[in-house]
Amino acid sequence: MFDTITGLPLHPLVIHGVVVGVPLMAVLTVLVAVRKDLRERFAWWVAGANFLLFLLTLVAKQSGEALQQAKGGQLAIEHGQLGSVPRMMLSWECSGFPSSGSREMSTMR
């Protein structure tokens, strides 16, 4: 399921979205969390985008494992080990923001 899309390996396609999206959403998340006017308007949109980025990261992981099994070799194994650090950072980002946004929104009521 996570091997190819229209004959192209899926992993190189989705990993670019993750590599660009994680730092971008980290900056946007901090910006929205710090500024009250932005938080009131965009907190849930940013939380939703973070969740979608989390799902994209899972797709990148699964497609990377499928590509690693298809290609094999030591280089593919070493490359696969590099994926654990960004996944941990994204998990922290996704789990931290929605809780702080929910807390802020609950105090506004």
Residue 54 is assigned to a structural domain of this protein: yes
Q: What is the pLDDT of residue 107?
A: 45
Q: How far apart are CA 62 and CA 66, in angstroms?
A: 6
Within a domain: residue 41?
A: yes
Q: Which is nearest to 11 in space by CA: 69, 70, 63, 57?
A: 63
Least confident residue range of 5-19, 34-48, 93-107 = 93-107
Residue 28 has pLDDT above 50, yes or no: yes
Q: Give the pLDDT confidence score for residue 13 in this predicted structure.
A: 87
**Residue 42 lies inside a defined structural domain of this protein:** yes
Is residue 108 one of the residues assigned to a domain?
no
Which domain covers residue 8, as residue numbers?
4-103
The per-residue pLDDT for range 55-108, each reduced to its tens digit, is 999 998 888 888 888 877 777 777 777 766 655 565 655 555 544 444 444 444
Enclosing H/E stretch for 7: none
Number of domains in the chain: 1
The total of other beta-carbon atoms located within 10 Å of residue 74's CB is 7
- 109: in domain: no
Residue 84 in any domain: the answer is yes
pLDDT of residue 35: 93
